[in-house]
Amino acid sequence: MEFNRRQLLRSSVGAGALLFVAACGDNADSNGPAKRGGTLRVGALGTAARIERDPHANLSNESDFLIASLVYDALTVPGAQPNTVARLASSWESDAVQRRWAFTIAEGATFHDGAPVTSEDVVWSLRRLRSVGGASKMPVAAESITADGPNRVVLTVPEPNTQLPLLVRLMSFTVRKDTTDFTTAIGTGPFRLESFQGGNARLVRNENWHGAGAEPRLPLLDAIEVTMFESVTALGNAVLSGQIDLASNVGAIAGRSAEGRGDLRVIRRANDTMLGVAMRTADGPFADPRVRTAMRLGVDRKALVDQVHSGYGTIANDILGTADPRYDASIPQRTRDVERAKTLLREAGFDSGRSYPLVTKPEVPGEVESAKAIATQLADIGVRLDVVEQESNAFYDRTWLQAPLYTISWGTNDSTMFYARNLMSSGSNRNETAFHDAEFDAATATALAAADSSELDKASRRVQSIQHERGGYLVWGMADGIDIATAAVRDLPALGGFGRVQLERAWLA
C-alpha cells in the first residue's frame, strides 16, 4: 500500500511491553520454542523510480519502508492492547493538561556504530522530520521539541492531546545528529544494513539492540534479505514458486492462490485497510443527514467484502478506527434496508431524477472496483451514480476535500480519536467530508484532554456515536492485510497497518 499524503498525517508504557504485545505474532502454530539463526527472504512492493533512502522522507515503496523500520527505531510502535507500545522510548508521561509530553530514551540504546543515543539525536531527528516531512509526519512545531537532560525529550503541543504517543509511531525514526547522508544507514534498530543495491537490501542482526529480550534474545534471525518487486503479480509468483520466504502485503488474489497449499501459509492481518466513501456534509446533494443515512442503508456490506476483498475482510459500521481498543462495538451494526433508504430519500426531497458523480482512484487494491459495486447497489434505492476514475495526483488536486462524493482509503485503523481529530473536527484542514458539528467537536476536545481513562472512554463513545448517526463517512468494510509465507516462517506480525513491518520476533523452524 502506498503511503499517500493523508496516511502520513499520521500513560507510561514499559519497554517490556514491546516484547509481549508489539508483534502479536502467529504464535499458535510455532510448534516448539523459537530458535535463532537463518536468513529470511522477504519480498515487498516498490518501483525503482521511487526508491528513497532518507528515513524522514516519503517512503512510498513498501520495500523502503520495511527496510527503514528494521534499521531505524521510532519512539513508539503499534501494539494490540494498548495500541501504542515502547520502542526507542522506554516510557512517556504528560503533564496534567496533556500538552507537555516527556519521552525517556531506552536504557542502553546505541547506534549501530556503538555511539549512545542522546536526547540531542532524537530532538534533531524529530525537528528534521518536521522539516522534511511536514506537520503530517511530525505534529509538533520544531521549536516545541526540546531536550530535557541527556535521555529525555519533551514535545509540547498548543492544545491537549492524549494521542501524541500514537502520532509518533513508526514515523519518528532517529538518526545521529547532523546526519544527511543515509547511504550507510546508521540506525538503532534490530537489524543493521549490510548491503543495498537497486532497492534490494541485506540486513543482519544487531546483537546490541536495546529492545532485545533475555529468553530468547531478539532478534532471532541472522539476516533478512529484502527484494523489491514492481507488481503484486510478480511478488505473488515469487512466493508461490519458492523464490522468497515471505511476500509482504501481497493482497487477496495471491492469498486465494496460496490457500490449500501445504507448503505455504496465508497470514491475515485484520483491520489493515479501510475503503469507504466520503459524503460532503456542508452543502450539496448529501448535506441532509437523512440522505447520508439512506446511502449507508443502501449498501450490502457483506457482498462488498466478498466481491472487493475476495472475502478477506470484515464488514464495518461507518466508524473509522475499527481496531481501536476503545472501538464501541455496542453501537448496532447497520445493515441493508432498501425500503427504509427509499423512504428517507423521499422525506429529504432527494432528486432521484439526475445522476451524481462518484469519483475514485486506483490507489489501493479494490478501490475502483468498490466504487463500481456501490454504484450498482445504490441504484436499488434510486440513487444513480456515475463512477469517474482519476489518477491519484489529479484526485488530490481536484477532488479531495472538495467534491460531494468520492472514495477514500486509510490504513492503520486502530485509533478512533486520531481520525476524529484529523479528519472530522471543524478545525482540521483534512476534513474530508466538510463535517462541522459543535457537539462532535466538544466531545473530541474532551477526549483529547481527558484526565483519566474513564473520561476518555466516555468521550470516545460519544464521538463514535455521533459519527455513526450523522457523520459524512460510509465505512462499509475493512480489508485484511495478506502476507504469504512458507511453512518454516514463524511468529510473523498479526497486526494491521504499520504493525506488519515488525519482524524482529520472526524465526525459521
CA distance to 34, 124, 273, 305, 503, per residue, from 25 (Å): 12, 33, 19, 25, 9
Q: Are residues 213 and 280 in the same domain?
A: no
Q: What is the pLDDT of residue 99?
A: 94
Model confidence band, residue 170 (pLDDT cutoffs 50, 70, 90): confident
- What is the reported pLDDT for 251? 87
pLDDT of residue 198: 96
d(CA 1, CA 46): 10
Q: Mean pLDDT, to the nearest integer, of 224-246?
A: 96
Number of H helices, E strands in the chain: 14, 19
Q: Which three cell numbers stand for residue 229?
A: 518487486
Residues 197 and 276 in one domain: no
Q: Which three cell numbers mark 236?
A: 505473488
Residue 118 domain-assigned (yes or no): yes
Do residue 53 and residue 99 come from a single domain?
yes
pLDDT at 497: 81
Q: What is the CATH number of the domain that holds 362?
A: 3.10.105.10
Question: In this structure, are 66 and 153 located in the same domain?
Answer: yes
For the ranges 51-65, 130-144, 382-396, 471-485, which has the lowest average pLDDT?
Answer: 130-144
Structural domain includes residue 319: yes
Query: Residue 504 domain-assigned?
Result: yes
Q: Are 499 and 402 part of one and the same domain?
A: no
Q: Are residues 226 and 285 in the same domain?
A: no
Domain for residue 1, yes or no?
no
pLDDT per position as a tens digit, 282-300 = 999 999 999 999 999 999 9
Instruction: Note whether residue 251 is domain-resident.
Output: no
Confidence of residue 451 (pLDDT cuts 50, 70, 90): confident
110 pLDDT more than 50: yes
pLDDT over 90, % of the chain: 79
Containing H/E element for 40?
strand 39-45
Q: What is the mean pLDDT of residues 258-279?
A: 93
Domain around 111: 16-27+34-245+488-508
- Tell me the pLDDT tens digit for each residue of 319-346: 999 999 999 999 999 999 999 999 999 9
**447, 496: one domain:** no
| Predicted pLDDT of residue 206 | 97
* Beta carbons of 434 and 426 less than 8 angstroms apart: no
Regarding whether 315 and 193 lie in a shared domain, the answer is: no
Please tell me the total count of domains within the chain.
2
Query: Residue 227 sits in a domain of what CATH number?
Result: 3.40.190.10
Task: Mark whether 101 and 210 lie in a shared domain.
Answer: yes
What are the cell numbers at 209?
Answer: 539492540
Q: Tell whether 315 and 202 lie within a shared domain.
A: no
Distance set, CA 213 to CA 229, 333, 502 (Å):
33, 42, 15
287 plus 230 within the same structural domain: no
Residues 173 and 292 in one domain: no
Mean pLDDT, residues 366-393: 96
Q: Return the beta strands (E) in 231-346 as ranges.
A: 246-247, 264-279, 313-315
Residue 28 has pLDDT above 50, yes or no: no
pTM here is 0.85
**CA distances (Å), 280 to each of 276, 359, 369, 392, 472, in order?**
13, 13, 21, 19, 6
pLDDT 10s digits, 434-446: 999 999 999 999 9
Would you say residue 12 has pLDDT above 60? no
Q: Within a domain: residue 5?
A: no
Mean pLDDT of the chain: 91
Cα of first residue to Cα of last residue in the chain, in angstroms, is: 29
Please state the rounded mean pLDDT for residues 397-424. Answer: 93
